[in-house]
Structure 1
Amino acid sequence: MADEPVEVIRSTALSGIPHGFLGRRGGVSQGVIAGLNAGLGAGDDDEAVAENRRRAVAAVLPGADLATVYQVHSAEAVPVVASWPQDERPRADAMATDRPGVVLGIVTADCAPVLLADRRAGVVGAAHAGWRGAYGGVLEAVVEAMEALGAHREDIAAAIGPAIALESYEVDDGFRERFTASDGRFFVPGREGHWHFDLEGYAEARLDAMGVGVIDCLGLDTYTDEARFFSYRRATHRGEPDYGRQISLIGLPN
């Protein structure tokens, strides 16, 4: 995969804004995490991860300052002025900025990466929305963080990138019981005692309920498309020792 160019998946909803959902193509990592692994916790060589991240930024917003957070499946969103030193990153799962030359980076491996922009206000955001973060309010938090910088939710365009799809996301009765009756539309019955959960649809509904102006669901399944994406659940089902993480980026040009 190191000989492949970096693949950048873009959303028409965010056209004109430097952004991209990246997969595993075009990186230098080897083994079960071969490709463009951007996760520091994947048991990868730090230099390989740094090179992969450099390639990712160069493919989306060359020369930008990459800002990432220590992701903990929370509902916390933070404003970004510049990147933090690696050991000083805040524990959060979403970011917003109005600073040109800064690119926000979210890493995922089945959770939904969500990129957002208010072109008129010159504000962008990024969120790591797994079920726990989405359920807890991380998408509401990132919109509010953008609004604190001058954005207006009706002017925000959001894109939901590669994530585990309904058909691939089996959960049990205990998981289903966490959600309200009205959330039942995001669950499809599976084998006895199990359901399939529509994470992308759930994230879309949370954004829509807030009044976000445009929402684009890319409909890309991380679990089934091994050639393009890393997947935590796929690696777990196979008993692999670790799993890679893809990165999604959005920023404002200088």
Structure 2
Amino acid sequence: MSEPVAALTHPALAGAAHGFLGRQGGVSTGVVAGLNVSFSEDDPALTAENRRRVVEAVLPGATLTCCYQVHSPDVVTVTEPWADDARPHADALVTDRTGVLLGVLTADCAPVLFHDRQAGVVGAAHAGWKGAFTGVTDATVAAMEALGATRANIAAVVGPCIAQKSYEVDEGFERRFLEADAQNERFFRAGKPGHAWFDLEGYVADRLRAVGVGTVAMLGEDTYAQEERFYSFRRATHRGEASYGREISVIGLR
């Protein structure tokens, strides 16, 4: 008997069906063994079964709706689900419709789930460093407001992503952030000459607080360091593996 799907949740998102999922409970094998939800790196039948299990574990009967992620600040408002081959190019989704399960795929980037319980609006964002830097979370909050949400009433939780201790970057990367705002220095810790360690989770959380999100939380889970629990692009790259898989974070209204 296979192990059950494991979904991390957070009390700040209570009232919305949600989960930050990792590798546990899936049918994929090999280097992407577990609950891989990427069609590009697996047998499509296995990926489809994994996605079905995600829905059943979090919001049975809902329709999983994802975008074609491109590391942008772009957000799409979902009024009805679309076919997987018709996904819009974007990195965040928002909706006020029930029965729609918004999903973002990650493998070190930060997934962020949003909920305004009073307004009945949810959102999901894929925040890699580029999307975070160019404002994908800011844009998600604005798109939720267009559906009636209020910033002070929004709760946002940053899910499993690569931690600072695992995220070495070069000086050009660091310079980009410091030139945008000298205060971003606090998200970098000095490393070997010409390098630093970047706190993606902390940076994303700070962006959320800066635009007035009422409740901001972080799960503090390092995807790179926990091979049995999460997929990691950087870990697979360091090992020279051909595939790395994706986990998914989802949220929807009942």
CA RMSD of aligned residues (A): 0.8
1:68 equivalenced with 2:58 (yes/no): no
1:237 equivalenced with 2:238 (yes/no): yes
The corresponding residue for 1:100 is 98
**Counterpart code for 2:4:** P
The corresponding residue for 1:162 is 160
1:33 equivalenced with 2:32 (yes/no): yes
Aligned residue pairs, count: 251
Shift of 1:7: 0.5
Q: Name whichever of 173-182 and 204-213 sits farther off.
A: 173-182
For the residues of structure 1 that align with 2:14 and 2:84, how far apart are their CA atoms?
31
Identity rate of aligned residues, in percent? 61
The corresponding residue for 1:128 is 126
For the residues of structure 1 that align with 2:51 and 2:70, how far apart are their CA atoms?
20
Shift of 1:15: 1.6
Shift of 1:94: 0.2
Q: Secondary structure at the match of 1:176?
A: helix
Shift of 1:38: 0.6
1:207 equivalenced with 2:205 (yes/no): no
Q: Deviations over 1:183-221 (max 9, x none)?
A: 000000011111000000000000000000001100000
Shift of 1:16: 2.2
For the residues of structure 2 that align with 1:129 and 1:83, how far apart are their CA atoms?
22
Residues 65 and 82 of structure 1 are in contact (CA less than 8 Å); yes or no, is this contact kept in structure 2?
no
**Counterpart code for 1:25:** Q
For the residues of structure 2 that align with 1:9 and 1:133, how far apart are their CA atoms?
23
**Counterpart code for 1:150:** G
**Counterpart code for 1:90:** P
Shift of 1:228: 0.4
The corresponding residue for 2:198 is 197
1:9 equivalenced with 2:15 (yes/no): no
For the residues of structure 1 that align with 2:183 and 2:40, how far apart are their CA atoms?
36
Q: Secondary structure at the match of 1:37?
A: coil
Q: Secondary structure at the match of 1:113?
A: strand
For the residues of structure 1 that align with 2:65 and 2:8, how far apart are their CA atoms?
20
For the residues of structure 2 that align with 1:193 and 1:12, how far apart are their CA atoms?
40
For the residues of structure 2 that align with 1:197 and 1:207, how far apart are their CA atoms?
17
The corresponding residue for 1:59 is 57
For the residues of structure 1 that align with 2:140 and 2:48, how far apart are their CA atoms?
26
Runs of 4+ with deviation above 3 angstroms = none
For the residues of structure 1 that align with 2:70 and 2:39, how far apart are their CA atoms?
14
Q: Deviations over 1:7-38 (max 9, x none)?
A: 11001111221000000000000100000001
Q: Deviations over 1:146-200 (max 9, x none)?
A: 1110000110000000000000000000100111221000000011111000000
The corresponding residue for 2:18 is 19
For the residues of structure 2 that align with 1:38 and 1:213, how far apart are their CA atoms?
31
Q: Give TM-score, length-normalised by structure 2.
A: 0.98
For the residues of structure 2 that align with 1:221 and 1:125, how far apart are their CA atoms?
22
For the residues of structure 2 that align with 1:65 and 1:52, how far apart are their CA atoms?
14
**Counterpart code for 1:39:** S
Q: Give TM-score, length-normalised by structure 1.
A: 0.98
The corresponding residue for 2:184 is 183
**Counterpart code for 1:196:** W
Q: Secondary structure at the match of 2:114?
A: strand
Point out where structure 2 has 5 or more consecutive residues left out of the alignment.
none
Residues 97 and 125 of structure 1 are in contact (CA less than 8 Å); yes or no, is this contact kept in structure 2?
yes
The corresponding residue for 1:86 is 84
**Counterpart code for 1:183:** N
